[in-house]
Amino acid sequence: MIDNLLLGFSTIATFPALFAIVAGVLIGIICGVLPGLSASTAVALMVPFTFGMDPVVSIVLLVSVYLAGEYGGSITAIAIGVPGTPAAAATMLDGYELTKQGKPGLALTTSVVASSIGGMIGAIILFCFSEPLANVALSFGAPEYFALAVFGLAIISSLASDNLKKGFIVMFIGLFLKTIGLDPFSGEERFTFGVPKLMDGLGFIPALIGLFAMASVFTDIDKATAKSRTIALSFAMPKIRQLLSMWKVYLHSSILGSIIGVLPGAGATIASFICYNEVKRFSKKKDQFGKGCLEGVAAPESGNNAVVGGSLVPLLTLGIPGSGTAAVLIGALMLHDIQPGPLLFQTNGNIVYGIFAGLFVACLAQLFFGLIGVPVWIKVISAPKALLLPVIASISVVGSYSYNNSIVDVWVMLGFGLLGYLLKKFNYPVSPIILALVLGGILEENFRRSLMISEGDFSIFVTHPISAVLLLFAVLSLLSPILFNRLAKVKS
């Protein structure tokens, strides 16, 4: 095993490979910062530039873009409340709260440290457990994916534990909005009102930008806070002791994120919310989550960067993409006449182990550039809100339009912005809508597919062991806050 790792580092120990890693990290961070550009989009945009490159150089470049793109989305999520990528929505829950408290340096530093550690742990898991984890992914069928979606939606028990009723109302609104478009089985139009662009459903990125960024603009205008800035931003960064004290959060979220990354179709967004939920569930600072808790920043960032290593497991060992970005990477490998799968370790071992080593180096580069960039981002967000609000609104419009080059997406963004504003005004949680939009399609498709397999027998969901366990966890997740609240009342 050590020999293979040394082979990987010797493979990338060239100027072109190291330069590609550094360039990939910088490009990934920039693309992650821009709302509307996801990590998969960034990787896809870079594929044409790899033509004629050495296969090792091209793949480590793309993997570096992938890794840094997942981190980059947290910067604007923390700085101005605009998630640069869907996975950064969970980071924003506590990260932006810290910025509003005048402590952006704490959140930005924690984010880059957690992301880099998560990426490294994901790379270790990729290196050590590729084949066993790939076999776990193969055991997931329609019932298991349905149960995973139910478990994900049960996260609202934590995200909206103060008022479960409101959380469920918002979640069902999100599930309804997810039905807009074509029926995945019959192909019939649902709630499209004759608008061709809505046949593919509501764009997730425009919805995300609207719910968080545009809603914040509407809220600030309503409160007339654009005239002055009352909070002085601190350049203070967390102490090393603070960062080290969260080692359990890094480890727990990174392992969980890696496992979720192995599952085809799950991805960084689901991993971020699940990691956030699970860390909150067992944290001694449970009451601080959503109010500016550093653990609430570290958990999703560790998880979504660990997904990168996890998603490469089925790609390299089985030739199955674990995410949309991994699917782009498969295409890039094939462009260089490299066929991913079990034989890849024998025929192109230097490339495989070069990817492992490249991930480690990319994590270090990400940590370096991320820490350097913290003061820069603080200076940017130090601008008065009278200047920031038009900038946020402009970024929201441009980001929504660039998602699909459609004005319909801009209207979708504005509609979700108004919805987010109303939810905040009447103290309804916004997060359950995001989860419903992420998991709604997985929930519906695998529920119907499972019933087709079982010919209408609902017992299929409990006769499959993995599905049954996940559903049990979902029930426990929903009941735990109720039980804890009642115990707290009894003690008082």
Looking at the predicted structure, is the pLDDT value of residue 117 above 90?
yes
Spatial separation of the C-alpha atoms in residues 226 and 456, rounded to whole Å: 56
Q: pLDDT tens digit string along 413-430? A: 899 989 988 988 888 877
Question: What single letter denotes the amino acid at residue 49?
Answer: F
**434 pLDDT band (50/70/90 cuts)?**
confident
pLDDT at 301: 93
Contact status, residue 148 vs residue 267, Cβ threshold 8 Å = no
pLDDT category, 375, cuts 50, 70, 90?
Answer: confident
Judge residue 415's burial from the number of C-beta atoms within 10 Å of its C-beta, 0-12 exposed, 13-18 middle, 19 or more buried: middle
d(CA 481, CA 490): 14
Quick check: 103 pLDDT over 90?
Answer: no
**Which whole number is the average pLDDT over 43-71?**
85
CA 156/CA 429 separation, integer angstroms: 9
The answer, yes or no, to whether residue 378 has pLDDT greater than 80, is no
For residue 213, the 8-state DSSP code is: I
The pLDDT of 276-299, averaged and rounded, is: 86
Average pLDDT on 95-121 reads: 90
How far lies 423's CA from each of 192, 367, 397, 414, 429, in Å?
24, 36, 21, 14, 7
Q: Check pLDDT > 60 for residue 228.
A: no
State the pLDDT at residue 313. 76
Question: What is the predicted pLDDT for the residue at 22?
Answer: 94
DSSP code of 212? I
Where does the pLDDT of residue 226 fall: very low under 50, low under 70, confident under 90, or very high at 90 and above?
very low
Judge whether residue 487 has pLDDT over 80. no
Between 330 and 489, the higher pLDDT residue: 330
User: Do 155 and 340 touch, CB atoms closer than 8 A?
Assistant: no
* Tokens matching residue 205: 């990125």
Give the chain's mean pLDDT.
81
- For the segment 305-326, the average pLDDT, to the nearest whole number, is 74
Residue 190 φ/ψ, nearest 5 degrees: -130, 115
pLDDT value at residue 263: 73
Q: Give me the DSSP letters along 430-461.
A: SHHHHHHHHHHHHHHHHHHHHHHHHTS-TTHH
Can you give the pLDDT at residue 484? 61
Segment 461-484 mean pLDDT: 81
Q: What is the mean pLDDT of residues 102-106?
A: 86
∠ CA 270-275-278, nearest 5°, is: 125
Would the pLDDT of 116 be above 90? yes
Q: What is the pLDDT of residue 482?
A: 67
Predicted confidence band at 229 (pLDDT cuts at 50, 70, 90)? very low
Q: Are the C-beta atoms of 315 and 330 separated by less than 8 Å?
A: yes
Long-range pairs, 164-167, Cβ under 8 A, ≥24: 164/478, 164/481, 164/482, 166/427, 166/428, 166/429, 167/429, 167/432
Identify residue 443 by its one-letter amino acid code. L
Percentage of residues of the chain with pLDDT beyond 70: 84
* pLDDT value of position 334: 75
Helix (H) or strand (E) holding 111: helix 104-138
Q: What mean pLDDT is predicted for residues 287-314?
A: 87
The pLDDT of residue 233 is: 63
pTM higher than the cut 0.85: no
Q: Could you tell me the pLDDT band of residue 170, with boundaries at 50, 70 and 90?
A: confident
Q: How confident is the model at residue 323 (pLDDT cuts 50, 70, 90)?
A: low
Reported as type and span, the H/E element at residue 182 is strand 181-182
35 band by pLDDT with thresholds 50, 70 and 90: low
| CA 437 from centre of chain | 13
Which residues have C-beta within 8 Å of that of residue 38, sequence separation ≥ 6?
69, 73, 85, 86, 205, 324, 325
Residues 156-178 have a mean pLDDT of 74
More confident of the two residues 187 and 134: 187
Q: Of the ranges 9-18, 194-203, 356-365, 385-394, which one carries the lowest mean pLDDT score?
A: 385-394
CB 87 within 8 A of CB 300: yes
Question: For residue 156, what pLDDT is reported?
Answer: 60
Q: In this predicted structure, what is the pLDDT of residue 377?
A: 79
Tens digit of pLDDT for each residue in 232-286?
566 677 888 888 989 999 999 999 988 888 776 667 888 888 898 888 878 888 7
